Structure 1
Amino acid sequence: MIKIKLFTFFLLVLGFLPKKQSDKHLLNVEIKKNVEKFKGEINFGKASFYFMEKNWDSTLVYSIKQLSDTDNKTIIDFCHYFRAISFKQKKLLNEAIKEFNEISNDFLFPYKVKLSLGEILLKQNKFRDAIACFQEINRLPENSDIDFNRSAVVHNLGICYLHLNQFDKAEKYLVKSSELHLLDKDTLMLIGAYTDIANLYYTQYKDQQAIPYFERAYHLSKKVNDFKLKSSVTLNMAVVEENRGNFPLALKYRKEYDKWKDSLNNQSEIWAVAQFEKKFAVNQKNKEITLLEAENKLKIAERNGLLYSFVLLLVLLVVGIYYYMQKVKNNKTILAQKAKLDELNATKDKLFSVVSHDLRSSVNALKKSNVTLLENFKTNNLDKLNKLLQNNVAIANSVYSLLDNLLQWTLLQTKQSYFKKESICLFQIVEQMSYNYKPLMLDKNIHFENKVSKSDLVYVDQESLKIILRNLLDNAIKFSNQEGTITVYSLDVESIHCNLIVKDTGIGISKINQKELLKETALLSKKRNEGVIGTGLGLQLCKSMIKKNGGKFLIESEEGKGTKMIVSLPKNNRHG
């Protein structure tokens, strides 16, 4: 009995080893479709080719390269499947299981994954886990879109239940598998099924039911050329007859078994010799190919030698011309930068000269005013004291504005200022800034109007917008007459820009000065109004801030009739 179990177990594994070529038809078609679809993925194409050629080592190499270089879910699933099958064929079963578990639920062939996992678990004697996989596949409908060998799945279920000694279920599935194998005309699988059924009955001591199946397996084995199968089936018959006490017949089977065993050994030797001869022939052919390749390479090298020399000389000539042109271009750039730097240095020198002069004048005026203030304080002349204090406040405000503009100009030039664009309501900013200048406007009885639309939004840096408005309002007040008018309003002139206009009824600006002020690199100019000196630094700072915010600056003015300072700012992109 022990011998029967040993040799029939060898036949059990036949239940999941044979595969029909048609089983892989749909898979190969889908692989070719995806190779065509993802032409740019070279490693995927190579992995697919070697997988279909059953070159498992090369499949593993190119699939791991592709996995490290893609995030495409379809390619990732196919690469894990390629690797799992490759590891399975190389008998690295645990690695194969890991790869199968990496495949997502969206893979087009989940039943193939389950089938392979079931076969591996059966090899590892994990029969209950294998049953779960095979049952999931067996429940699938018989559909032409699903290509797997159902008879092999049913056979494997029978084997699993046989190992678990669940004989009723084992008998059910093994008998059904034999019927399916018979319909498929799969002789090898049918021999295995008959042997497994015989083993099922023989294990339960149901000899009368077992022996006919052993005999069927033996008779069918005569139709195949598998010497290993023939020897195993014949040995089973010999053991059965020994147990029955029919020793002459058992001896006959033993002799036949020895004959098939010798044939199997001879076949193995012949196969080994054939493999050696094939390898030797391939090596000889490879040597010939290598020799021809070496000769061709030498000829190609000789033929292309002059061509490479000519190309090298041409490249050197082109490089020489390129560097010469670059040198000429760089020299022009350096000269242009030098001219611009000289102009900037001149602007800086004049800035320091004007600022220092104005600071000195303002401080000197403040000093003299303070001396007069002290003298009038002793005489308690309140009217005079009030005028002197107002004068000191005006001088202090002028100096503060000058120093603040100088600081902002310095930060802008050294690129240290904080700058962040955001959605700004123009009306609120104008209202806020005009509030700070109400004392100055009241001092000159200036009437102020904020006519900016409350719905106008601009996309600018808030702090730089405040600097622009502060300087424009300061200039409007400074150069306005007593009881003048300052109006701030907005106009929509373009779909992407909004015009902010500061209009005053002051002394105005001449055409010549307007052109100078609008120049990109205009030097600072000086203007006078009631003894107040302006450096022009604030207007230069405004232009720089407007440009940085992506806006434009215009001046409309006529001497004696007032001025319009026009700032065109980008609208709020999120609401426009």
Structure 2
Amino acid sequence: MTKKTHRFILLFLFLTSIVFSQQEKRLNYFEVAIQKKSNSLKNEINFNKAQYFFLKKEWDSTLVYSMKQLNSNPDLETKQYCHYFRGFSLSEKGLYKQARIEFNSINKSFQYYYLVNNSIGILFYYEEKIENAIVYFLKAEKEILNHKDENQIADLYANIGTCYLHLNQYAKAEFYFKKDVLLNPKQATKNAVRSNLNIANLYYEQYKDQQAIYYFQKAYILSKSIKDFKLKENATFNMAVVEENRGKYKKALDYRKEAEDWKDSLNNQNKIWAVADFEKKFAVAQKQKQIKVLEVENKLKNTERNSLFFAAIGLLLILTGGVYLYGQKVKNAKTILLQKNKLDELNATKDQLFSIVSHDLRSSVNALKTSNSKLSATLETKNYDELNRLIIRNSTIANGAYSLLDNLLHWAMLQTKQLYFHKESIHLYSIVQQIEYNYKPLLLDKAITFENLVSKNIFIYVDLDSLKIVLRNLLDNAIKFSNEKGKISFYTQEINLDFCDLIIQDNGIGMSHETIKELLTDSELLAKKSNSEIIGTGLGMQLCKQMIKKNSGTLNIESEINKGTKMILTFPKTRTNG
């Protein structure tokens, strides 16, 4: 690999990360103002929830509650905050066009308008419109200086310097990067590492290698004292590229191994967080079980006290009691028999489900294993087009296995009644928009056109998490059974004042009436049919039917072979005070 190619890798790694790190930091100053505003609006539940989820970086919930607050016709300043919440959340989700609409809805009288200019500059940066980004960053620079917040000013200098570096205007880039370095502390912090990497990349791009290497080494040394695994990985990988360019391949190899270790640590950290979240939910479920056990014990104690009180009366009714006990014995015997039959049926379902899921998981793992072998061989040949194709294929296989396990987990929680349902008013258009964003790679992979024609005025009264599970499964099926360059549409039909239909339509391979009847049949048993029309475990459809029913909804299917399919979901609408 040539030195020029290495330079490209360095710039790609760090210039794309600068803006993201800036976004993570800038909330620290703004959150004080948000909390003050929230304290002054204690009766505005939707605003308080919106700001809470905004600070927690839960963008979907932020979008829902900020929209509810806007629909309640708040005062001008509160509107400005809500539009900013929405613009920032949409930007984080990659919906740049919608984000710009929200930012443009904010009046210039807004006290923190410099954040708006800064955010619009970042949107232009994402869209690679660097000159436009610089215009808005410079506007933000004039306004932000009045606030005297050094952290945000330093981030802004880094952004401006990055943009000038993209345009190869090195003198201006150096001017702003040096201002950024001066504002950051000399001790080991994430900002200090970032600042040194920026300066290093600037000099490296100009082939001022000695100056660049000094700052790369400084960034690497500082990164040892911080806890950000991603930044550690980047700084170490950067040193590997530098040593490779200098012909010191042993050192380069050591740095690359260290970078891989930091990458593994980052992955392990993410796994630990996921496990911790699962353990938390499990602990809550266990505590609920303990409470129920205590309730049962209290009832038993009350029963014992009452038994003593009625003991005398029981002696007089011994004959009647004997008959009663005999009847109870017969009843209990029937109950035990029914429970045994039910348990046998559940065990059969479990065995069949494990067999099906194990087969599908084994197929996915085997496909991933085979693909990884090809990936290793292709890596040696440095065929980057083939590498990209194999990586995309691996991602698709992993996503399929993850969806199967996710469905299995939710199905098991439904069967054991551990899944918590909380119904609330949901803006249906926004949720469909989020689902489209999550499945954008799969849609692009098959060149499928997606249309979100859901009415923006419809709110339905359902549980948000279960609704997302249903829509994800049905969209995944629509993509799976659609042809290349197909079309998938989401649209609504209002039945009456209380209910509306959400229709998911595709023009794929369709299905027969027998298959539709099989899918809509209420059955707890899963079966892998020999009929080629039924593909997979059937677990996703079972899960969808149960969750739709839990949300007081219904499911109907209209389809013809080779003419596509309509999945018709009926949900209750949110009741409004008329």
TM-score, structure 1 length as denominator? 0.46
User: Highest Rg: 1 or 2?
Assistant: 1
Normalising by the residue count of structure 2, what TM-score does the alignment of the two structures yield? 0.46
